[in-house]
């Protein structure tokens, strides 16, 4: 019985660590090109399916850690510009949507950790002057209403 497991060609498959030169099935897992895919750690130069995951360009996406120079889908998540968005940790210089969350200016807003210098609406929360307001941890120097709590 010949060994027909193509994925064992690299010697890294712990279940089938045998190299079989007569294996008839080509390896077609494009995501294993980087050698970082723990399920299929085999490099195949003849892979027929191009890698089309734009979010893996930064090599920080643990699900798809493969760089694809021919990626056809552009990344359009403006909130990933800071590199702090764990869901989309990819910088997109051509992002078309401006960031308009003024409360993220301090970099402490865990939902929107992106600084937007062109924010159009000013921050009007006077109680955040001491950075103690957990909902709005942004200092607003132009706050119009004074704090009147004795």
CB 83 within 8 A of CB 89: yes
For residue 97, the Cα-to-chain-centroid distance in whole angstroms is: 18
- Print pLDDT tens along the chain (150 aa): 344 444 444 444 444 444 445 544 444 444 444 443 444 444 444 443 344 444 444 443 444 444 444 443 344 444 444 443 444 444 444 443 444 444 444 444 444 444 445 444 444 444 444 444 444 444 455 544 455 555
Q: Please, what's the b/e burial string for 63-91 (b: 16 or more CB within 10 A of its CB; e: otherwise)?
A: ebbbebeebeeebebbbbbbeebeebbbe
Q: How high is the pLDDT of residue 21?
A: 52
Q: With CA atoms as reference, report the closest residue to 105 among 79, 137, 63.
A: 137
For the full predicted model, state whether its pTM sits above 0.75: no
Q: Rounded to 5 degrees, what are φ and ψ at 89?
A: -85, 50
Tell me what pLDDT residue 22 has. 52
91: tokens are 């910088």
The residue with tokens 């006077």 is: 126
Contact 46, 15 (CB under 8 A): no
Answer yes or no: are the C-beta atoms of 100 and 133 closer than 8 Å. no
Output the pLDDT for position 81.
43
Domain boundaries, the chain: 24-144
């Amino acid at each position: 019985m010949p060994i027909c497991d193509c994925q064992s060609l690299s010697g890294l498959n712990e279940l089938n660590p045998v190299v079989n030169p007569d294996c008839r099935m080509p390896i077609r897992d494009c995501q294993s090109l980087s050698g970082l895919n723990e399920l299929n750690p085999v490099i195949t130069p003849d892979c027929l399916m191009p890698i089309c995951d734009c979010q893996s360009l930064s090599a920080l996406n643990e699900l798809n850690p493969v760089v694809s120079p021919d990626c056809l889908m552009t990344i359009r998540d403006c909130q990933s510009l800071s590199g702090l968005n764990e869901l989309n940790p990819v910088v997109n210089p051509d992002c078309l949507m401006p960031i308009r969350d003024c409360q993220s200016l301090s970099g402490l807003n865990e939902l929107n950790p992106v600084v937007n210098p062109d924010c159009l609406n000013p921050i009007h929360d006077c109680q955040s002057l001491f950075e103690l307001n957990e909902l709005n941890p942004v200092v607003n120097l132009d706050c119009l209403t004074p704090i009147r709590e004795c």
